[in-house]
A = this chain, B = another copy of it.
Amino acid sequence: MTGFFVFWEAIVILLFTDFGSSDIYVGQVKAKLTSLVPTACVIDLLHDVPNFDACAGAYLLAALHESLPLNSVTMAVVDPGVGSARQPVVVEADGRWYVGPDNGLLSVVAGRAETARVWRINWLNPHVSDSFHGRDIFAPVAAMLERQEWSPEVLNPIECLDVILDTHGVEKVIYIDHYGNAMTGISGKNINDAAVLNLEDQSFRYARVFSEVPAGDAFWYRNSIGLVEIAMNCRSAARALNITVGDAVRWS
């Protein structure tokens, strides 16, 4: 608790990808970022977005948006179309910055923001791999934003994104955490506590928190990022009830 404290504003770059938290990709991105912005604090927000699922990623990222520091830059990459015609873009949404592919992933964050701006990335550097734009384009652009080196040759303002998802949410399971809790793409804000959530032939009543129900009981609640989530106290709801990403839910 002793020591010499130097306080400055944190320079924060967050990573949100389907690169896998145990794989060879994230380290290469960090090596690139560190060489370009040595003082940045690079935070792994999530690397296990369901593989190739830009839609699930879009709703999850929008739910995490409020947890992100103002002025932070998030490199968001779920990019099965890497190397194809889909465009790389930058989005500024209510004071947070995002860099990633224009495939829907950033469209919910942008669509829900009070103020949002969008730029297309015109990447000039020829040394780019065909399959790893996270390391070769998105990381350098994130670094550029953090360094405030704004180049009009690289960033062209555009009116709107090519791929735009419904900002209202999606009545599906979009993510299952390691406890086995199943998050839906539904915001919990305007849902009444009396509502009953259904998934196939199962139905779930509301509880405020895990410790309010007996161990092993299933319920729905508003989770810590504001989403409606199906959970069990001290057990895996996903395993016990055989829930997978993409399962449809509905209210009754």
Using a CB–CB cutoff of 8 Å, the interface residues on chain A facing chain B are 1-12, 14, 20-28, 30-32, 34-35, 38-39, 41, 43-48, 51-52, 60, 64, 67-69, 71-73, 80-84, 97, 129-132, 135-136, 145-148, 175, 177-179, 208-212, 221, 223-225, 233-234
Which residue in chain B gives the minimum CB-CB distance to A92? B1
Q: How many copies does the complex hold?
A: 3
Q: Given A12-B34, A34-B69, A211-B83, is A48 in contact with B22 using a C-beta cutoff of 8 Å? A: yes
Residues of chain B within 8 A (CB-CB) of A9 are 2-4, 38
Residues of B with C-beta under 8 A to A178: 20, 22-23, 51
Contact yes or no, B24 A45, CB < 8 A = yes
Contact (Cβ within 8 A) A68 B31? yes
- The answer to whether B14 and A31 have CB atoms under 8 Å apart is yes
Chain B nearest CB: distance from A59 CB in Å? 12
Check B131–A209 contact: CB distance below 8 A. Answer: yes
Q: Are B43 and A31 in contact (CB under 8 A)?
A: yes
Contact B225 A24 (CB under 8 A): yes
On whether the beta carbons of A81 and B211 are closer than 8 Å, the reply is yes
CB of A26 within 8 A of CB of B6, answer no
Residues on the B chain within 8 Å of A135, using CB:
67, 224
A151–B106 Cα distance when bound, in Å, is: 41
A3 partner, pick from B10, B31, B224, beta carbons under 8 A: B10
Contact B80 A234, beta carbon cutoff 8 Å: yes
Apart from A1-B146, A10-B34, A129-B224: 5 A-B pairs, beta carbons within 8 A: A2-B9, A12-B31, A24-B45, A83-B209, A130-B224
